[in-house]
Amino acid sequence: MSPRLYLLVSLLLLAAPLARGGEPATENVILFMTDGLRWQEVFTGAEKELISAGPGGVKNVAALEKTFWRETPEERREVLMPFLWSEVARHGQIYGNRKLDSKAQVTNGLNFSYPGYNEILCGFVDPRIDSNDKNLNPNITVFEWLARRPQYRGRVAAFACWDCFPYIFNYQRCGFPVNAGNDPLAAPDNPRIELLNRLRAESTKYFPGESWDAILFHTALEYFQEAKPRVFFVSLGETDTWGHAGRYDHYLEAAHRADDYIRQLWETAQSMPEYRGKTSMIVAVDHGRGDAPVEWKSHGENIDRSEFVWMAFLGPDTPALGERKNAAPVTQNQIAATLAALVGEDYPASVPQAGAPIVDVLPAP
């Protein structure tokens, strides 16, 4: 073999793995959200000051300490959210620990739910969306944008505790099921969903317009296994509602439960041939909250630091960089384009006002 031919063959062999490595493996994507869960608990676990009857509203301080208090931040966060800090931190990426110069934040300036969900789902801020009123969203979400493509038609669905979500997704136009609040899910001949519908109808409506996380999640999980959507949305609500209620005990319990629901959905996906090894998950929140001892209950444009959030990514195309340190800042308006890019779609080409994808969580070109 001539030297020139040998060099050419060598270069081709070296290039081949790079080309194969650049092909995305993701065919399905899940966006899992838990409303208003602070970055402080995610990265440092329970706060001692709030495990109290005073600022934390805790009914049994000793029991809560036994469950969630540990001596180091690393131990506390792992006992609070074990799946996030074992599976996701080991095989994916987590952004938002400001103590390690990893910044993640809201860009809408209002720091509450509807503007936050619009920013996440559409990729841009709309000044017309300045309340949590049930107004139909004039903007097309990335879920609707994908649902209009032939390969995703009939394969997109959304489940949420808050009954504003049909309006956020614009149920009159979006073309996919949005099950939210205490509305039953139409599922003939499925006794498990019939039971869950009954529980939703008969359970105490403690928070107006919201279902309990457990009922909503298990309804979503049942639908996921039966309908096998390619693009799937789940949003829990109790981390926010117990925060507003000033019950730090229930807030921590809701965060711990959310982590387990992320685990259950991920493990269910990995047990199914339609999803195994070809599904990516994004975990995010719509806003942060203020600091202890008082403002942790609240958020909004007048609550300092409630613009700070966190987000996590797990899947076959996301490099396993774990907890990000000294990372480029990420913003909430990048999630829509990142979600689309994970399944090989260029969202900003159609929606130029959307934030750019987060390149570090995508396969190398």
Neighbours of 244 (CB within 10 A): 14
Q: Is the pLDDT of residue 1 over 50?
A: no
pLDDT tens, residue by residue, 294-335: 999 999 999 999 999 999 999 999 999 999 999 999 999 999
pLDDT tens, residue by residue, 108-139: 999 999 999 999 999 999 999 999 999 999 99
pLDDT at 22: 55
DSSP 104: E
Number of domains making up the chain: 1
pLDDT at 18: 30
97 assigned to some structural domain: yes
What the block records as the tokens of 125 is 């801020």
Q: Dihedral of CA 288/105/29/25: which sign?
A: negative
Contacts of 336 (CB under 8 A, 6+ apart): 120, 121, 122, 123, 141, 142, 347, 351, 354, 355
- Read off φ and ψ for residue 206, nearest 5 degrees: -70, -40
180 assigned to some structural domain: yes
Question: In this structure, are residues 51 and 69 in contact, taking their beta carbons and an 8 Å threshold?
Answer: yes
Which range (22-31, 48-57, 156-165) has the least confidence? Answer: 22-31
The range of the structural domain enclosing residue 265 comes to 25-361
pLDDT at 364: 81
16 assigned to some structural domain: no
Per-residue confidence at 23, pLDDT binned at 50, 70, 90? Answer: confident
12 assigned to some structural domain: no
What the block records as the tokens of 101 is 């110069």
pLDDT tens, residue by residue, 177-198: 999 999 999 987 899 999 999 9
pLDDT at 187: 82
Considering only CA atoms, which of 192, 195, 191, 193 is closest in space to residue 179?
193
What the block records as the tokens of 246 is 């000033």
3 assigned to some structural domain: no
What the block records as the tokens of 107 is 């860009």
7 assigned to some structural domain: no
Q: Is the pLDDT of residue 290 over 70?
A: yes
CATH number of the domain at 229, please.
3.40.720.10
Q: Is the pLDDT of residue 17 over 60?
A: no
Q: Could you identify the residue written with the tokens 């990372």?
A: 327
> Rounded to the nearest 5 degrees, what angle is found at the Cα of 182, between the Cα atoms of 181 and 186?
105
Q: How far apart are CA 147 and CA 168, in angstroms?
A: 15
208 assigned to some structural domain: yes
230 assigned to some structural domain: yes
pLDDT at 16: 31
